[in-house]
Structure 1
Amino acid sequence: MTEATTRAAGDPAAKRLRFGWYSYGWAAQVFETTVLAVFMSRYLPAVAEHAVGETGRLHVLGIPIAPGSLFTYTISFGSVLLVVLMPIVGAFADRTGRKRQLLFAFAYLGALSCAAMVFVGLTDWVLGSVLFMLAFLAYKCARVVYNSLLPDLAGPDERDAVSSIGWAAGYLGGGSLLALNFVASFLIDDSAVLARLSLCSAGVWWAAFMIVPAVILRKMPTTADAHAPQAGSAFTAGFKELGDTLRHLRLYPWTLLFLLAYLVYYDGIATTTTLAADYGQNELKLGETTLLSAILLVQFASFGGALLLGRLSQRWGAKRVVAGSLVVWSVLITLAYFLQPGQPVQFYLLAIGISLVLGGSQALSRSMFASMIPRGKEAEYFSLFEISSSGTSALGPLVFGLVLQNTGSYRSAIFSLIAFFVLGLVLLLLVNVRKAITAAGNELPATLEQSR
């Protein structure tokens, strides 16, 4: 156990470090909300359509792409790159112990890329794709390191609560900037200008509020590998560590099964939230004000939802609560299929339902996984966790894009995502969490001890 996890829960130094960790969530969540979920998911296809026309085709490496599918295909391509990139980042972080430096290097690259999106004009689909790709890759790599700090900040009985508060803080931060973007929508008539300024604001917010965690987390204990190489060989050693991690992963079959379950159900969560605005605009014919206000509602309501599910996990355990949330997700996807066009109240009710399970299902999955991994390998294993939640999220957008392109129906495309929740639930129910924690050499949380 590290110095941070052995501190008493009420220790001021421990609280300060956790506040710094929460603050990064407040700063960075704007990428998920303003950039990924709201503006870029619609602005990039619109830019592509302006460049080649509604029925035209973009040509990338000789491959014809429909303008409406550019955003989802960009995510899919970036996600494939992350499968290779994130494990190297995780291995490098564990090998060198430079987690804080890596976190903020990637984060500022992402923030600068978002700020530069203000220069993406109505036909600049190449520039928009490149900047979005850089921001996407940087955000996800930073998240590998950010998540790997959780075991150092909280013991087994505190981990669900700390993870849930971190996720709740992120939703509060993301919602706060989105509220400002919402106000701006009443003041700016040109939707393209609104999109560019909002995307830029995400980069400025991200960079500005990162100053707080950058200062506080300087006091995080260093946890470099005892066999760390000289600086010149650290990167190549990262590849070796990655190979060792993948070979040793078979020694933790329950952890591997959980990763597979998370890979499947998070793909459904990420694709649903990313493309919700696109579905509302193109299928339900909802206006900009309705879409922004609904997503804003999700952000603030998810703050309470994450804390609620965190509290429920203290009584029922994280696995049961996550499993219940996946049942709710399946019901919500079914309801989304039947929503009627031009009915904002129905969309708002769906948004409230999503907010109840969105943050908690992710926060508790993170804390469960943190208990299933061996000490000293946090960043490496969380890189595999992020592959499950990001690198392989190529599948959801790809399925959505293919169904949309072949059927022309957004309803069919959104309903196809239910398969991810059903299969993910089945796999999660097969995971023996107690054996996974014990195999990794970690202490069981009180909820599992009491259920013996």
Structure 2
Amino acid sequence: MAETVTPTARDVPPPASTRRERTGWYVYDWANSAFQTTVITVFLGPFLTTVTELAAGCELGADTCDGYVHPFGIRVAAGSYYPYLISLSVLLTVFVLPVMGAIADRSMHKKRLLAGAAFTGAGATVAMAFVTGDRYLLGGALFLIANISFGAALVVYNSFLPQLGGPDERDGISSRGWALGYLGGGLLLALNLVAVTMFSEDGNPQRSLDLARWSIVSAGVWWAVFTLVPLRWLREHPTAAALAAQRGNVLTDGFRQLGRTLREIKAYPLTLFFLLAFLVYNDGIQTVITLASQYGTEELRLEQDTLIVTILLVQFLAFGGALLLGMLARRIGAWETILLSLVLWTGVIVAAFRLPAEAPLPFMILGGAIGLVLGGSQALSRSLFSQLIPAGREGEYYGFYEISDKGTSWLGPLAFGLVFQLTSSYRVGLVSLLIFFVVGFLLLLAVPIRRAIVAAGNPPPRVL
């Protein structure tokens, strides 16, 4: 039963934002999601691995490659180069994001920070056009810049959310942004997959490599062009900390403020407890997304065409799923809706375990179910966290949130890998992910959400 709360003494009127401003905020989700789908999910891994294999002396189009590259004198198997880059980007992100958040909170010009991070990431993505031949080091450096900039821009972008609506409006605002992001990311991916299908040539791996490169470049162009809309339509809402910091140095003051926040964050244990719950269940979500293709090819023996159709299905159904769960949250509250979504995620894992091999239709149906629950669980987690942030600390706390989102996404794959190594079964490895959803559900259930919101100094929404 949803809990209806009465106003508190700390109730404040919702921030004054316009429909144009909120629309501009939504469009940034449309802009940056192209990087996540086209670049990270589909094209970059195989592309950069192939470039690295060329640098290792392997023939283009070879089925296997036992060669090694030596970046900065370190011996690295060509097939391990991209996974190592992901791990390095995660490590660097852990240090960058909270600092970016602290600076954003003390800046009078958050839009400039958003522009700097977004255009840096988009520029690095477009520069992948120069990753030709065996330039694997250039490709690796550009990926690190793009991925870290992607996370930094998200910190600034998310910090606008509490300024766009009151407690009762944020679930809907976050859900609409997330939904539009899945729609935009899916649209560009579909266009790129059509181009790859039309222009690829059998027996010509160089053409496939070139098509992958230009698909990656298109995501950078998409990201940069559509970022112009939020930069035009969003307005600055300086926090008290930003107004107080006008006479100081934003960068050095931001570092000092981050240090103070790390010392003072223990004053908000319930906010930290929510972050712990989010870390656990979101790691399960990210692992399912990351390993679904591997499970489909290795365990279910499905063709690549089936996987591509399923990826697109997930993208477009996540658009509707985010809106659907956003509407449900208005009736029963974001907290209970997220708990319900975790129950549905548990059902997805059980159903995936029972999928028959070489059966595309059941796999695509399950992909549709993932799409329906995926966008809503992520969008509502973002909006619920906005209620748990002390006023004026949005950037810093969303820096920690993004670390929980991106910086710990190795736990689920590690569990999956260890179980597979012990059992040689992808199905058993998949079942091991149930622990993330069950434990995440129990942790989130244990958060006294109304008390956590009030403890952060915020008025709770009408329905929790």
Q: TM-score, normalised by structure 2?
A: 0.87
Q: Describe the superposition over 1:183-239 as per-residue Cα deviations: whole angstroms up to 9, x where unpaired.
A: 11221214322211211110011111111111111x3333361331546x3212112
1:35 partnered with 2:52: no
Q: Distance in 2 between matches of 1:2 and 1:28?
A: 34
Q: Does 1:304 align with 2:308?
A: no
> 1:296 Cα shift?
1.0
1:185 maps to 196
CA distance in 1 between partners of 2:13 and 2:82 (Å): 41
Asked if 1:6 is matched to 2:23, the reply is: no
**Whole-angstrom CA distance in 1 between matches of 2:417 and 2:73:** 19
Matched, 1:23 2:27: yes
In the alignment, is residue 141 of structure 1 matched against residue 161 of structure 2?
Answer: no
2:96 to 67, 75, 85: 85
Aligned residues of 1:94 and 1:379 also touching (Cα < 8 A): yes
Contact 2:14 2:167 in 1 (8 A): no
- The letter of the residue matching 2:215 is S
| Alignment counterpart, residue 97 of structure 1, candidates 108, 114, 122 | 108
Return the letter of the residue paired with 1:446. Answer: R
Which among 338, 343, 347 is matched to residue 331 of structure 1? 347
1:396 equivalent to 2:412? Answer yes
Aligned residues, how many?
441
User: Equivalent residue for 2:373?
Assistant: 357
Q: CA deviation at 1:347?
A: 2.3
The alpha carbon displacement at 1:21 in A equals: 0.1
Counterpart of 2:40, as a letter, is: L
Paired amino acid for 1:390: K
Query: Is the alpha carbon distance of 1:349 and 1:64 closer, same or farther for their aligned partners in structure 2, counting shifts above 3 Å?
Result: farther
2-structure distance, mates of 1:4, 1:289: 51
Q: How many angstroms apart in 2 are the aligned matches of 1:5 and 1:283?
A: 51
Q: Name the counterpart of 1:10.
A: none
Summarize the Cα distance change of 1:111–1:158 in structure 2 as closer, same or farther, 3 Å threshold: same
Question: Offset of 1:164 from its aligned partner?
Answer: 0.4
Amino acid of the structure 1 residue aligned with 2:195:
A
Aligned to 1:265: 281
Per the alignment, residue 210 of structure 1 pairs with 227
Contact 2:108 2:236 in 1 (8 A): no
Amino acid at match of 1:115: V
| Alignment gaps of 5+ in structure 2 | 1-9, 57-63, 201-206
Q: Hey, what's the Cα distance between the residues in 1 that align with 2:415 and 2:81?
A: 14
Other-structure match for 2:136: 125
Q: In structure 2, how many angstroms separate the alpha carbons of the residues matched to 1:273 and 1:376? A: 33
Letter paired with 2:121: G
Matched, 1:422 2:426: no
Match of 2:204 in 1: none
- TM-score normalised to structure 1 length: 0.90
Contact (CA 8 Å) 1:80, 1:394: kept in 2 or not? no
Distance 2:285 2:81 in 1: 20
Change (3 A) 1:121 1:425: farther
Q: CA deviation at 1:4?
A: 9.7
CA contact (8 A) 2:11 2:458 kept: no
Query: For residues 399 and 118 of structure 1, do their structure 2 counterparts lie closer, same or farther at Cα, with a shift above 3 Å needed?
Result: farther
Residues 187-266 of structure 1: pairs in structure 2 closer than 5 A: 187-189=198-200, 190-217=207-234, 219-223=235-239, 225=241, 226-228=243-245, 230=247, 233-266=249-282
Paired AA for residue 28 in structure 1: N
1:429 to 1:384, Cα distance in 2 relative to 1, 3 A: same
Q: Identity of paired residues, percent?
A: 50
Contact 2:188–2:219 (Cα < 8 Å) also in 1: yes
Contact 1:371-1:442 at 8 Å conserved across structures: yes
Q: 1:90 is paired with a residue of what secondary structure?
A: helix
Aligned to 1:161: 172
Distance in 1 between residues matched to 2:252 and 2:94, nearest whole Å: 17
- Match of 1:446? 462
Kept after mapping to 1: 8 A contact 2:271/2:452: yes
User: Which secondary structure does the structure 2 equivalent of 1:447 belong to?
Assistant: coil
Ranges in structure 1 where 5+ consecutive residues have no aligned partner = 8-12
The answer to whether 1:316 aligns with 2:325 is no
| Whole-Å separation in 2 of the counterparts to 1:176 and 1:220 | 30
Deviates more, 1:169-178 or 1:56-65: 56-65
